[in-house]
Amino acid sequence: MRIRSKHGLAALAVATTLFTSGTALAAPITVGGVTWDPGYALDFMSSSLQVQQKVDADGTAHGFGIISTINGTAGDRFCPGCTVTFQYRGYTPASVVGNQTYFMGGFVDIYVYNGATGIDPADPITMSEANTGLGTLWLSMRGHAYNGSTLIGTATGSGTNVNIAGLGQLDVVGGVAREFFDTNRYTDGSDLGISTSFTRPFGRGIEHMVGTGNFFGSTARAVPEPGTLALVGLGFAGLLAGRRQRPRL
């Protein structure tokens, strides 16, 4: 289609603007000081090099950690001048089958803090409940029950040579970044996944261990509104009709 008039070019420009304004997010997003690229191949993926987990006498698991990378970007780049930490609690054992423990419940909160925390991302003993729950609540989540559990913990090895791996699913319920992660696109309509791996006892047993963890899922992406698509269609239809009816000079 060839459009020669200024009015035709203007109409095409407006239609294009309307269409692209409703398409998927492509540029990096910044919320609460945290920046990530939704175009990253593994979007969304955050890694925590240091996580501590504690298990109470009744088997309830809770812990805390620092987020080291988001979508392949290090902390000094995705959150300059701030620290992103998380805490989880309330994972209660519902049943044990072999070497697997099936947990129910669970709450996970991610925080962004602008200021000194005293945390060294390379040193897990610099973290505590006190300095990993500071600042703005960036994302608040709760466990999503699937096949009878919100998280499955698998233990292998024995004594001080033990590994405890956790895998679960989460529903986003709050935080300043909620709208970008309340997607229902993960397992069973949940929003994000969580995985942990603990290999180093913080002492003599599995009651307190050090390990790593990840959050993974996808960023919510804007889609064209029906009204926007209709306007674009009408705009092009009107443009074509005008050209067909215009008498030749």
Pairwise pLDDT comparison (237 vs 160), residue with the higher score:
160
Instruction: Quote the pLDDT of residue 248.
Output: 52
Distance from C-alpha of 197 to C-alpha of 48, rounded to nearest angstrom: 10
Helices 6-21 & 226-245 angle (0-180, nearest 10)? 170
Backbone phi and psi for residue 215, each to the nearest 5 degrees, phi listed first: -115, 140
- In this prediction the pTM is 0.80
Distance from C-alpha of 64 to C-alpha of 114, rounded to nearest angstrom: 18
- Arithmetic mean of pLDDT, 200-223: 86
* Mean pLDDT, the chain, whole residue set: 85
Instruction: Quote the pLDDT of residue 242.
Output: 52
Backbone phi and psi for residue 16, each to the nearest 5 degrees, phi listed first: -65, -40
Of all residues in the chain, what percent carry a pLDDT higher than 70?
Answer: 78
Domain layout of the chain by residue ranges: 39-220
- Lowest model confidence (mean pLDDT) among 2-6, 26-30, 198-202, 230-234: 230-234
Instruction: Quote the pLDDT of residue 158.
Output: 81
Question: pLDDT digit string (tens) for 140-194?
Answer: 999 999 999 999 999 998 877 889 999 999 999 999 999 999 999 999 999 999 9
Cα–Cα nearest to 156, from 94, 88, 206: 206
Tokens of 59: 């088997």
